[in-house]
Amino acid sequence: MIKYPNKKKLSTTTLIKQSASRRGMSLENDLNSTNQYYLDHEIAVIHKKPTPLTIVDVAYPSRNKAKIVEAYFKTPSTTDYNGVYNGLSIDFEAKEISSKTSFPFSFLHDHQIKHLRMVHKQKACAFLIIRFTYYDETFLIPCSKLFDFMDNNERKSLPYTWVKEEGYLIKQGIYPPLDYLKIIDII
């Protein structure tokens, strides 16, 4: 490591600036921006799925414009993100959590866990991305490890210590903000 004693003050400022600029950046923003980076650089094609809605009523205020005037949110039956990366089918769910100690499984819908099990069986690369906002740490947890934990434990949550041990910390950067495919390359 190269040290720049003369630039110490500058580096600190920069660090503070970066940290401040990251404040309020949600996991979803980071992922969308990362996926856009992957798209622009032809690294992968990964999209967030639109929120599933039940449309009840549509009005046509003008000839070409349909306006939805009554719709409700549906429980998602799949994960939020999927796509393809160099022949690999990618499928994951991402969650942010303020807890310091664990990630409760209640944050995932039963349908989503079932979906992850099924795509895993179909040999997709399936995983969770969990951000512990208290530590500003974001981990990738392969589904094989997640299911192994779920199937051999009574616990209804993943302890932070387990995540730190078994998950992969995703390095946070400027652009892309969350280069999670680097982890996929490793595992």
In the complex with a second copy, which residue's Cβ is closer, 78 or 138? 78
Are the CB atoms for 109 and 73 separated by under 8 Å? no
Min dist. Cβ of residue 34 to a second copy (A): 16
User: E-strand spans in 101-136?
Assistant: 102-104, 125-132
CA dist 51 and 2 (Å) reads 47
In the complex with a second copy, which residue's Cβ is closer, 63 or 65? 65
In the complex with a second copy, which residue's Cβ is closer, 70 or 136? 70
Min dist. Cβ of residue 156 to a second copy (A): 22
Min dist. Cβ of residue 49 to a second copy (A): 6
CA dist 184 and 187 (Å) reads 5
CA dist 128 and 157 (Å) reads 13
Kindly state the DSSP code that residue 80 receives in the 8-state scheme. S
In the complex with a second copy, which residue's Cβ is closer, 16 or 68? 68
CA dist 181 and 174 (Å) reads 15
Min dist. Cβ of residue 147 to a second copy (A): 16
Min dist. Cβ of residue 129 to a second copy (A): 18
Place of tokens 């205020």: 61
Residues in the site for a second copy, rule: CB under 8 A? Answer: 39, 42, 44-45, 47, 49-53, 55, 65-74, 77-78, 82-91, 115, 118-119, 121-124
In the complex with a second copy, which residue's Cβ is closer, 53 or 187? 53
Cis previous bond, 177, omega within 30:
no
In the complex with a second copy, which residue's Cβ is closer, 44 or 178? 44
Pairing of strands 125-132, 88-97: parallel
Q: How far from chain centre, in Å, is Cα 131?
A: 8
Min dist. Cβ of residue 25 to a second copy (A): 21
